[in-house]
Amino acid sequence: MIKTPICDLLGIEYPIIQGGMAWIADADLAGAVSNAGGLGLIASMSADAEWLRGQIRKARQLTDKPFGVNIMLMSPHVDEVARAVIEEGVKVVTTGAGSPVKFMKDWLAAGIKVIPVVPSTAIAKLMERSGASAVVAEGGEAGGHVGDLTTMALVPQVCDAVSIPVIAAGGIADGRGVAAAFMLGAVGVQLGTRFIASKECNVHPVYKEKILKAKDINTIVTGKRFGHPVRCLKTTFSRELYSMEYNSGVSNEELEKKGLGALRLAVLEGDEKRGCFMAGQCAAMIKEEKPVKQIIEEIFAEAEELLLGGAKWVKGR
């Protein structure tokens, strides 16, 4: 068994967190990941508090193990959602797409462990000063909303910058990525794309199939014009969106209209023409849909062998 301070901090068996993917990370997926010994997350995305409360209660029925909520800080309902996690007794909150500082005092007072997703050392330090229990250092090879720094460059730098535990995210889909993250100084990992192609994930079958068929060069980053880059699979839609962004004849309004609801269309309807299938660069490493428990067990069995076997390269000691 691989045990790190993240296991103790969160009361989980394996040091793995499931990514808080909008429209994807629901009670079913979170419950499955928590039942398998990781930390499942429900994504609050832009939903209101009522929806989130329903999901939290559903997850409680699915598992008696710890799970968390990912709060998307740009949500129009962020204030009510931030209160709801306190009122519902959620124990772990991860945050993305903004600064959680204004909510930290109340969350910490409620005993919530806060784990912000960070794209740089400066933000990691700010989060540590604000009372975060750990940070997720997420590299730009991840799916969905991404930063510039990659996992290989970001994780060691964040580890040098803060004293709280660092969880690595971005580009990790198997035990090799987990073992590499540990070598970089992380004591846990967050995986998103790998869990989309799990039995318990409720996305449309077309979404899973697209991940299983992806090649290494099949992701693209759109949204740079607005300063909110998003990594997704290359499709006719995402290529069009990409071209439009770099075409100054296309207005911001047209561009926003084109992108609106595209993730929802991918997740719920598997719409190949208008859907945005968010995924990380590791999509091509995922060949089979599996139950969450099997995914986690296989990843950590592989990581364990690699960590035990690293000494094989060292001669004469």
In whole angstroms, the minimum distance from the beta carbon of 196 to a second copy comes to 16
Which listed range, 30-38, 81-89, 125-133, 308-316, lies at the site for a second copy (CB under 8 A)? 308-316
CA distance 282 to 169: 11
| Residue 308 touches a second copy, criterion: CB under 8 A | yes
Using CB under 8 A as the binding rule, the residues of this chain from 2 to 41 that contact a second copy are 2-4
CA distance 237 to 75: 25
| Residue 212 touches a second copy, criterion: CB under 8 A | no
Two structure tokens written together for 168: 């690595």
| Residue 172 touches a second copy, criterion: CB under 8 A | yes
| C-beta of 98 vs 156, nearer to a second copy | 156
In whole angstroms, the minimum distance from the beta carbon of 153 to a second copy comes to 4
Burial of 99 (0-12, 13-18, 19+ CB in 10 A): middle
| C-beta of 89 vs 309, nearer to a second copy | 309
| Residue 180 touches a second copy, criterion: CB under 8 A | yes
CA distance 128 to 144: 24
Which listed range, 17-25, 45-53, 211-219, 251-259, lies at the site for a second copy (CB under 8 A)? 211-219
For residue 225, count other CB atoms closer than 10 A to its CB.
16
In whole angstroms, the minimum distance from the beta carbon of 6 to a second copy comes to 11
Residue 302 makes CB contacts below 8 A (sequence gap 6+) with 174, 175, 176, 178, 179
Residue 1 makes CB contacts below 8 A (sequence gap 6+) with 13, 300, 304
Two structure tokens written together for 216: 């290494």
CA distance 215 to 198: 18
| Binds a second copy by CB under 8 A, chosen from 131, 185, 229, 261 | 185
How many residues bind to a second copy according to rule CB under 8 A? 57
**What SS3 state is found at 46?**
coil
Question: Which residues lie near a second copy (CB under 8 A)?
Answer: 1-4, 120-122, 139-141, 148-154, 156-157, 160, 170-172, 174, 176-177, 179-185, 187, 215-217, 219, 246-248, 280-282, 284-285, 304, 306-308, 310-311, 313-317
